[in-house]
Amino acid sequence: MTANPGRVLISGGASGLGAAIADAVAAHGGIPLVLDKQAPSGPAEYRTVDVTDSAETERAVAELAADGLDAVVTAAGTDACGALDQVSTADWERVVRVNLIGTAAVVRAALPALKRSHGRVVTVASTLGIRPAGDATAYCASKFGVVGFTRALAMETAGEVGVTLLIPGGMQTHFFDDRPDQYKPGADAVLNRPQDVAASVLHALSAPRGCEIRELVVCPDREPSWP
């Protein structure tokens, strides 16, 4: 049985995987604390913030962590599909700022509280963070960055903060809605429910102290981008 996860801050917690994690935290007796550009639909303390603004993000994290923090999950993410010379500079760089720099900003601001509680961090990468794909240079660059960031963070904070790298495959979320049709999953695509991936996150957060789940690959059984 999954233990109460405590106070869990979730970036991107108003939709998709982040919202599923917030719901799972609440269902197991914890307190979800949400960072997002929009308010969450469920009951949760939250701050509206664009994680590309590191200073604003760090202030919001500090406010939510004022009463203590047991875990952080960095689920905020975005994409801009297309050939490198067809994606605007602004769109390409925004992907990196949200997915990688936003992840670092959230974790950096949360570390003092997490060190006090001997808490945990779960970063959200992607199967495209370990296997590249064409027309996804921004997304791959950012998610490969999250993989490296997380592995280095685990070494840096060993014994102080637990660190888990989540590598999810495709999920049934609105992540694909605004893409051109050629970049959307086909009608026969097999995708995981975000609630099932969220259950894996709760499993990592409930591991006994001193026992770390360093990396989790969670994907549909017919995931085309794994291995």
DSSP per-residue letters across 82-141 = S-GGGS-HHHHHHHHIIIIIHHHHHHHHHHHHHHHHT-EEEEE--GGGTS--TT-HHHHH
Q: Among 46, 139, 144, 175, which one carries the catalytic annotation?
A: 139
Strand runs (DSSP E) across the chain, as ranges?
A: 7-11, 31-36, 45-48, 71-74, 120-124, 162-168, 215-218
Non-local CB neighbours of 58 within 8 Å, separated by 6+ positions = 105, 108, 109
> Comparing C-alpha atoms, which of 214, 114, 67 is closest to residue 155?
214
Q: Is 183 designated active site?
A: no
- Active-site residues, by number, are 139
